[in-house]
Structure 1
Amino acid sequence: MTASDTPSFYRRILDNLGDGVLLFDKTLTLTYINMPGEMLLAVSARQVLGARARLVLPCGEQPVEPDLRHAMETGISLTKRNVTLVHPLHVITVNLHISPITEDEATGVLVQVQQVDRHLRISMEEQLLAQQNAARSLLRGLAHEIKNPLGGLRGAAQLLERELQDELREYTQIIIEESDRLQSLLDRMLGPNKLPQKAWLNIHRVLDRVTQLVQAEVPAGVRIVRDYDPSIPEIFGDADQLIQAILNIVRNAAQALGMHGRIVIRSRIDRQVTIGERRHRMAVKIDIIDDGPGIKPELLNHIFYPMVTGRAEGTGLGLSIAQGLISQHGGLIECSSVPGNTVFSLFLPLEEDHEASVPGLGGR
């Protein structure tokens, strides 16, 4: 029972599952791991094939090997829930579904690794998208109701200006200017009103442009560090809109830091990403990380709503606009924050047809 015994067709099926699948032989040595398993455990097959189960699935004080051995000896499947796997680089909570496998004279055990917080994340994403859509619909209706009387108010001020003496026209000018300011604010609240003009582009050129713009604005004590994965292929998107979305987030990070701090802009490939109701085999993940004071817990679940801000001088529109722009690209922005580590993660799905043409990404 080795990986070479598995036909390539079935291997592709296993690589497209959302959960990790691991196969151990009768000595509890790993003989197969699918691609989601590699991503979930943050390992490569080359590193762990041939390793014992206790090293692949380190469960701390409750080792997994006795359960694997019990399943093989009794022929009974079992499930271990909320198991904490402690790896050098990360800690994850999973459910382990353990099934004995017997084929001819070979004996082994199949372990399905299901990340518990992944399902919570999917639920949160769906809730976030629903909230965004509801807020945007509400705003559009509200803006429509405000724009009509606002236009009438401006027009009346222009007519009145023609009839007034010069020394009184400054008052009508104030009405006109304030009407224009409110109109501009409404337009910004609604975000871009045009569809993205998409083309194939290098996401790192977008990130470099954002870095260049922000670097010219921030104090000398703020450092911007770029951490790119050079293997990321081109994506299909609107460069100007992506620059605007990412720029809004990086500027927010810079403003949170003040005079000193560090911003890291990191790009990676993420696999088996669920956005809304659709699961994507691969997506580009852009992390914008700062070591500032963090976002207040009471604001964290509402920061993508318009007019929500943690700064007295902020408008609360930057993140809402950024989420809308990324949403137009089929993506999503998430945020986690504790003092000293705030992370905004942008997910941009890779086009399926483009994946197949990129060596090492598709066409397996």
Structure 2
Amino acid sequence: MSEAGSDPMYAGLDLLSTSVLLVDAGGEVRYANPAAENLLELSLKSLQRAPLPDLFTNGAELSALCAQALAHQYADLRQDLSLQRAGREPLHVICSVSAQGSSELLVELRENVQQLKLDREERILDQSQANKELIRNLAHEIKNPLGGIRGAAQLLELELPPHHLLELQEYTQVIIKEADRLQTLVDRLLAPHRKPHIVGDVNIHEVCERVRSLILAEFPTGLTIRRDYDASIPEFRGDMEQLIQVVLNIAHNAAQALRSRIAQGDAEIVLRTRVARQVTLAKVRYGLALDLHIIDNGPGIAPEIRDRIFYPLVSGREGGSGLGLTLAQTFVQQHLGVIECESRPGLTDFRILLPLP
């Protein structure tokens, strides 16, 4: 058999965005198109003559599919696979195998986007839960000695010698004020776990309008907040105050990031509501979900923090507490929803999905 990579009849495969490999009857790769090289993170030279199942630590299932196709048991085999690779992330793919004559197979690998999304949501939920436990434990550990430090500073201030009172009081006041500042921070860290979840009927457009009025009151000129609502979205059960806080935290961050454009007069935030159908949230399938977007035309989130924006104490703004998005994520998860973000210069889009009745 000639090398497929050198045969003009296979040149069209190079143009496909889908990963395609040609495999002989012995399971060895004869050809892989550029999309397959990118997916597998291996060059054509590395792939050629390599047994396809041996590229994965769990290649037996793929080998069985190839054997069935060669035996012409099925015209075209399709199966969801999670292909494990040593030291790298597994590949979640939809694998199609079809026989090309009696001695050659065409193997097509397409990333399983839905499975990737589910895995990403699961990682976010696990990370969020770990963050919450860490914050709660750390906050309690900090909170306990703070009162003692502040009390000791107050007692020390009472014992200061009169002739050095003003001079030394400056230091005791620093201790007291910093202890108060830390106490405020600890209270904010613990706030999501203390506040009760008050459930009632929620109209998401009332939430958006409340936030819109608050933001425009703070930024009355230079900023346009555009409404793009789907009036058919039904009311749902939720905590309205928490959801106002979620949308307000995100919209306020957007307004802060838009300061330079506000000065120019062309800053814009879009509040968009839609209905999403057949949505999986935290491994649960819902027929309907609220699809809320908060979009701004600001500079975008810095790449170095883009993957960590929901972590506590991570902020892209000087002087920011880094708690607003953490709080937003906590409240959204308490409503069984998810929050996502896509950002590039000129467009940042926060997407909130919440189940609807």
Which residue matches 2:129? Answer: 133
Residue 322, structure 1, aligned to residue 328, structure 2 = yes
Which residue number corresponds to residue 233 of structure 1?
234
CA distance in 1, matches of 2:274, 2:111: 20
Give the match for residue 275 of structure 1.
281
Q: Deviation per CA, 1:262-293, whole angstroms, max 9, x where unpaired?
A: 11101111122222232222211110011111
* Pairing of 1:104-183 with structure 2 (within 5 A): 116-164=112-160, 165=162, 167=166, 168-183=168-183
Q: Deviations over 1:73-124 (max 9, x none)?
A: x99455499xxxxxxxxxxxx9699xxxxxxxxxxxxxxxx99322211111
Is the contact between residue 293 and residue 340 of structure 1 (CA under 8 Å) also seen in structure 2?
A: yes
Match of 2:211 in 1: 210
Equivalent residue for 1:223?
Answer: 224
| RMSD across aligned positions (CA) | 2.7
Change (3 A) 1:80 1:291: farther
CA contact (8 A) 1:336 1:344 kept: yes
Equivalent residue for 2:312?
306
Asked if structure 2 preserves the Cα contact closer than 8 Å seen for 1:191 and 1:324, the reply is no
1:347 corresponds, among 323, 339, 353, to 353
Q: Is the 8 A contact 1:335 1:343 kept in 2?
A: yes
Aligned mates of 2:267, 2:113 — CA distance in 1: 30
Residues 303 and 230 from structure 1, CA distance in 2 versus in 1: closer, same or farther, beyond 3 angstroms?
same
Residue 184 of structure 2 aligns with an amino acid whose one-letter code is S
SS class of match (2:308): coil
Please, which of 268, 274, 280 is the counterpart of residue 262 of structure 1? 268
Q: Residue 341 of structure 2 corresponds to which residue in structure 1?
A: 335
TM-aligned CA distance change 1:222 to 1:146, over 3 Å? same
Cα distance in 2 between the residues matched to 1:158 and 1:312? 32
Q: Aligned partner of 1:240: which letter? A: E
Aligned partners of 1:231 and 1:187: how far apart in 2?
39
Contact 1:136 1:190 in 2 (8 A): no
Q: What's the CA shift for 1:208?
A: 0.3
Rg bigger for which structure? 2
Residue 253 of structure 2 is matched in structure 1 by 252
Quick one: distance in 1 between partners of 2:238 and 2:94?
37
Show structure 2 runs of 5+ residues with no match.
1-72, 81-92, 97-109
The CA distance in 1 between the partners of 2:294 and 2:247, in whole Å, is 9
Deviations 1:143-202 (A, max 9, x none): 122111111101212323333456354543332222111011122233422221111121
Q: How far apart are the structure 2 equivalents of 1:153 and 1:251?
A: 35
**1:296 Cα offset (Å):** 2.3
Q: Distance in 1 between matches of 2:134 and 2:118?
A: 24
Structure 2 letter corresponding to 1:148 = N
Q: Does the 8 Å CA contact 1:126/1:275 hold for their aligned counterparts?
A: no
Note closer, same or farther for the CA distance 1:204–1:215 as it changes in structure 2 (3 Å cut). Answer: same
Give the letter aligned to residue 157 of structure 1.
A
- Structure 2 distance, partners of 1:304, 1:141, is 18
Q: Distance in 2 between matches of 1:147 and 1:80?
A: 53
Aligned positions, number: 251
Alignment partner, residue 108 of structure 1: none
Aligned to 1:190: 190
The answer as to whether partners of 1:286 and 1:346 remain within 8 angstroms in 2 is: yes
Q: Distance in 1 between matches of 2:95 and 2:218?
A: 49
Work out the CA distance in 1 between the residues paired with 2:243 and 2:326: 14
SS at match of 1:153: helix
Between the aligned partners of 1:276 and 1:225, the Cα distance in structure 2 is 31
Which deviates more, 334-343 or 216-225? 216-225
- The one-letter code of the counterpart of 1:139 is I
Distance in 1 separating the partners of 2:297 and 2:239:
29
Q: Give the TM-score normalised by the residue count of structure 2.
A: 0.64
Task: Say if 1:242 and 1:325, in contact at 8 Å, map to a contact too.
Answer: yes
* Other structure's SS at 1:310 match: coil
Identity %: 52
